[in-house]
């Protein structure tokens, strides 16, 4: 299977550059669990497609202001995108520079803080910030919100709120779990009234999520690493949901990746650590029955995951429909509701 099998043409004007006025104003393209026709709906309709006893799982990661600017000691301008904080004063990062800096070379942030390039680690630079200030504090003080590369504008004050979910609690992501951006308190209340329960995992989304696949054959791809935590209390909720015949509903591909990374001996088990799990057609997804997710980039690993979940032919046809119907794409865009082609529990709801 090749990455070109997941290509589609997307007019640039369909890439959402700004959020809508309200979080739950987005459209929702629904792929029913059978071969029924697609349904063009709204995210506010989601409760109609779920049932009492279903368990909806969110990613509670919080985006950190991970973008910094400065200069190399030699004078060239540099942009730093933190991938992961390693300790109080070290981090892995991507560097936007005209010439790759050597190990041991120095950078100076715009506020005067010095940074030393320690070396390379799997495509990222390991940096040491030469300050007694904790790195998390420095980022909060001078960092900027790391909007994705397909947004052609600088971040503004509104992004500090809108590029976070309302349930973001655990700092560490450099990209938002964007399916969760559609949920406001009103929608959560409507789901609760429906009898849908909720739970959380943590997966710190890394900048690697935007890196293009550089090989043609999917089997040759090495997936980027991300840290996750699936707690024991959530695993108990999942067991109880399964026991009563309810469905596990993932809000976003990061939830799917976290739960599948925690799948052991026929069930989701507690796990905290790194994952390099790559899900694509031919690799069945066991832990999730229903998925809410945004539209993803052509030939991206996230689109491949969605195709593994709901069927490649059906998903790619739905993307063509979304383009024709002028849906909004990517982080601030619209959403899809999909059902696991391999799950006997996919059907449900009253819509």
Strand partners, 82: 93
Q: How confident is the model at residue 344 (pLDDT cuts 50, 70, 90)?
A: low
Nearest Cα neighbor of 341 from 271, 290, 269 is: 290
pLDDT, residue 123, reads 79
pLDDT per position as a tens digit, 262-295 = 999 999 999 999 999 999 999 999 999 999 999 9
pLDDT, residue 35, reads 73
Task: Please check whether residue 131 is in contact with residue 138, taking contact to mean a CB–CB distance below 8 angstroms.
Answer: yes
Nearest Cα neighbor of 148 from 27, 294, 307 is: 294
pLDDT per position as a tens digit, 73-92 = 988 999 999 999 888 899 99
Neighbours of 224 (CB within 10 A): 19
Q: How confident is the model at residue 236 (pLDDT cuts 50, 70, 90)?
A: very high
Coil, helix or strand at residue 27: strand
Classify the C-alpha dihedral 138-141-147-153 as positive or negative: negative
Task: Please check whether residue 312 is in contact with residue 5, taking contact to mean a CB–CB distance below 8 angstroms.
Answer: yes
Domains of the chain are: 3-63+160-339 (3.40.1780.10), 67-142 (2.40.10.240)
């Amino acid at each position: 299977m090749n990455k070109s099998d997941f290509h589609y043409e997307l007019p640039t004007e369909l890439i959402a550059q700004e959020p809508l006025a309200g979080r739950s104003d987005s459209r929702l393209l629904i792929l029913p669990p059978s071969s029924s026709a697609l349904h063009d709906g709204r995210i506010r309709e989601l409760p109609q497609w779920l049932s009492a006893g279903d368990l909806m799982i969110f990613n509670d990661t919080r985006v950190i202001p991970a973008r910094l600017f400065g200069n190399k000691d030699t004078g060239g301008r540099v942009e730093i995108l933190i991938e992961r904080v390693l300790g109080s004063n070290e981090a892995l990062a991507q560097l936007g520079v005209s010439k790759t800096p050597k190990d041991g070379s120095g950078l100076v942030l715009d506020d005067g803080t010095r940074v030393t390039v320690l070396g390379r680690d799997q495509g990222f630079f390991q940096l040491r910030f030469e300050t007694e200030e904790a790195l998390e504090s420095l980022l909060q003080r001078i960092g900027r919100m790391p909007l994705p590369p397909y947004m052609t504008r600088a971040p503004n004050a509104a992004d500090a709120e809108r590029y976070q979910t309302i349930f973001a609690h655990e700092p560490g992501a450099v990209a938002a779990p964007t399916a969760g951006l559609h949920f406001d308190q009103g929608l959560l209340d409507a789901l609760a009234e429906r009898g849908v329960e909720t739970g959380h995992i943590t997966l710190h989304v890394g900048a690697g999520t935007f890196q293009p696949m550089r090989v043609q054959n999917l089997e040759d791809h090495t997936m980027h690493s991300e840290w996750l935590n699936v707690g024991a209390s959530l695993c108990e909720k999942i067991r109880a949901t399964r026991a009563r015949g309810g469905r596990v509903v993932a809000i976003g591909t990061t939830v799917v990746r976290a739960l599948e990374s925690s799948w052991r001996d026929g069930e989701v088990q507690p796990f905290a650590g790194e994952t390099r799990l790559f899900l694509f057609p031919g690799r069945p997804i066991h832990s999730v029955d229903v998925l809410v997710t945004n539209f993803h980039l052509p030939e991206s690993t996230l689109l491949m995951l969605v195709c593994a979940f709901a069927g490649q032919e059906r998903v790619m046809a739905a993307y063509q429909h979304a383009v024709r119907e002028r849906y909004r794409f990517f982080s601030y865009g619209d959403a899809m509701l999909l059902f696991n082609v391999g799950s006997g529990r996919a059907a449900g709801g009253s819509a």
